[in-house]
A and B are shown apart, each in its own frame.
Chain A
Amino acid sequence: VEQTAFEVRTTDSSFLDRIRPHLTEHATTEEATSKLPWYRFSAIVGEDRLLPGRIRTRGLHSLYAQAMRTYHGPHLEEMAGSLVETIRWLSLDPLDEYIRIRGGAVALDGSGVLLASPESQPELSALVATLLTKGASYLGDWVAPVDPVFRRIHPVPFPLLLASSDASRLSGAAPRAPRRSGRETSKIPVPLDGLGSRRADPVPVRWVVFPSFEPGGETRLESAGGAEAVFGLTQACANLDVWEERGLALFRELVETAAVSRLVVGSPEVAADLLMEVAPSLVET
């Protein structure tokens, strides 16, 4: 992927079956990757054990990226999520031919809705996934690459990553995973067709939305000023160190040509409905 080769080895081939649906499109030959820098992932699949006294312990799985452990826990789906998350980060981080905006993005009827998020917000993926279940097409749930030639958002070639509880909540369309207490940080990969959606073609940016999350609060759209939006995009830009003032010029242009809003999300469901309802009128104007 993007001039880096990834190799996965495992103690249990069933783990490969689990990740294949998410990464098959990137599969290649050893020959094609022989001159590329490569990363090796090692997935150690633990086994359940029966201890004296009929005490059963769940097997713990570990994933290593090169020599660094990136996952240790009892859920294979979460280990697959950790693998996909590391690969997509390693693949997308060098893509400086794009201006990369942290956040998510979806396409609605050929128009791009950029959900810019200067700070990392775990709830953003759930909002993107909910939009997909309502008819939007997928562009990204972590970073949105904007092409500087045509000013279009390009789709990222990886599955959506959702917190386990969100994946379960989304009407069973996504793979179910065990519920866990406390704040979840691990994510599981969710195929787009499981959400009734697909990857979008590159689309122009028509609406820039800055979401923030207040679970349980009122969901509302607010207007945002141009200067505030340019500043927000500056904060959300993952490679402004590369694009510098050229990035600022693009953000000014985007803000002049696209609608700009703040979105306070009390409920992803309500927020997705609101975006779907308002988008057609905003995109037209």
Chain B
Amino acid sequence: VVWVYQAEEDQQEGPDVHRYVHNGALVRTGLPRDLLNFAVWDIHTLAHQRTRDFLLLHAGAVVQDGRTVLLPASPESGKSSLVIALLELGFDYLSDELGAIDPLTARIHPFPKRISVAPESLGFFAGLAERLQDRAGLGSGLLKRYVRPEDLDAAVAGPAAVRVLVFPTSDHEGAARLTRLSRAEAVHRMTANSFNVPIFGERALALLSRLAREAPAFQLDGGTPRERAASIRELMAELR
């Protein structure tokens, strides 16, 4: 797959209209800022569309002492903010978007990309916006903010087994609270947040069942990202 960002002047639409070409096909025209944001989205989408050697969940994932906290959740559940808060607490990074489960070992592999958050989400993390280096050059036109693990003194971890499954919800009312889920509910929720279950079929269910058997599952409601992260750190301490 080749992405071509063509900046030549468009004869009909003027000098400010650019073209985004994907595999030789014109996908979109517009201002450079719009096309760059579209390209970032398009490339990330392609990554999970093309991947077939991992079972992919819509999930954040962080590691502490070689043990993974997998955070499957639907979009807008605050996964990325929660991952940032967990990295602040010393966890290492696997992903803020894709939980890549190795079908051979059921370990989670890193999907290292910059953590993308809405600019207003940085309000939860005082001082972080000033430390980010995502606004140089064309980056000044990006709509989202992009956080590198090293901006939080965290590292990208290697593949690690899942220790606990935490399902953050979009309910942020009240204090952060964890509620134990059954294995069946955990499998159901992971399946609902999977990108490529149909490719693996019954093998996906076997793999997700193995995860639910080996790791306890919790629903996480309420709280700010930092409060949620603190509750997960306490949970990990209890599970030692």
CA distance A142 to B19 in the complex (A): 43
Interface residue B88 (Cβ < 8 Å from any Cβ of A): no
CA distance A95 to B103 in the complex (A): 14
Q: Are B207 and A97 in contact (CB under 8 A)?
A: no
Interface residues on A, range: 10 to 19
A148-191 interface (Cβ within 8 A of B):
148-150
Q: B210: shortest Cβ distance to chain A, in Å?
A: 9
Q: Which of B102, B103, B200, B206 has the most CB of A within 10 A?
A: B103
Residue of A nearest to B109 (CB): A246
Q: Are A250 and B206 in contact (CB under 8 A)?
A: no
Q: Which of A97, A150, A239 has the most CB of B within 10 A?
A: A97
Pick the residue among B105, B200, B206 that contacts A97 (CB under 8 A).
B200
A 237-280 binary contact with B (CB < 8 Å = 1; else 0): 00100110010011000000000000000000000000000000
Interface residue A96 (Cβ < 8 Å from any Cβ of B): yes
A149-B200, A149-B206 given; A250·B52 CB < 8 A: no
Q: Are B104 and A97 in contact (CB under 8 A)?
A: no
Q: Are B52 and A246 in contact (CB under 8 A)?
A: no
With a CB–CB cut-off of 8 A, which chain B residues contact A150?
203, 206
Pick the residue among A96, A147, A149, A249 that contacts B52 (CB under 8 A).
A96
Interface residue A94 (Cβ < 8 Å from any Cβ of B): yes
Interface residue B53 (Cβ < 8 Å from any Cβ of A): yes
Pick the residue among A94, A148, A239 that contacts B103 (CB under 8 A).
A148
A148-B103, A246-B105, A249-B104 given; A96·B203 CB < 8 A: no
CA distance A232 to B215 in the complex (A): 37
Residue of B nearest to A239 (CB): B53
Interface residue B192 (Cβ < 8 Å from any Cβ of A): no
Instruction: For the complex, count residues of B whose C-beta is within 8 A of A.
Output: 11
Interface residue B199 (Cβ < 8 Å from any Cβ of A): yes
With a CB–CB cut-off of 8 A, which chain A residues contact B105?
246, 249
With a CB–CB cut-off of 8 A, which chain B residues contact A148?
103-104
CA distance A250 to B104 in the complex (A): 8
Q: A145: shortest Cβ distance to chain B, in Å?
A: 12
Q: Are B53 and A242 in contact (CB under 8 A)?
A: yes
CA distance A242 to B199 in the complex (A): 16
Residue of A nearest to B106 (CB): A149
Residue of B nearest to A147 (CB): B203
Q: A126: shortest Cβ distance to chain B, in Å?
A: 32
Q: Are B102 and A246 in contact (CB under 8 A)?
A: yes
A 63-102 binary contact with B (CB < 8 Å = 1; else 0): 0000000000000000000000000000000111100000
With a CB–CB cut-off of 8 A, which chain A residues contact B104?
148-149, 246, 249-250
CA distance A239 to B200 in the complex (A): 17
A97-B103, A97-B199 given; A149·B207 CB < 8 A: yes
30 residue pairs of the A-B complex, CB under 8 angstroms, read: A94-B52, A95-B52, A96-B52, A96-B53, A97-B52, A97-B53, A97-B103, A97-B199, A97-B200, A147-B103, A147-B203, A148-B103, A148-B104, A149-B104, A149-B200, A149-B203, A149-B206, A149-B207, A150-B203, A150-B206, A239-B53, A242-B53, A243-B53, A246-B53, A246-B102, A246-B104, A246-B105, A249-B104, A249-B105, A250-B104
Besides A148-B103, A246-B105, A250-B104, 9 other A-B contacts (C-beta < 8 A):
A94-B52, A95-B52, A96-B52, A97-B52, A147-B203, A149-B104, A149-B203, A150-B203, A246-B53
Residues of chain A touching chain B, judged by Cβ–Cβ distance below 8 Å, are 94-97, 147-150, 239, 242-243, 246, 249-250
Query: Ordered nearest first, which 7 A-B pairs have the shortest CB separation?
Result: A149-B203, A96-B52, A148-B103, A148-B104, A97-B52, A96-B53, A149-B103
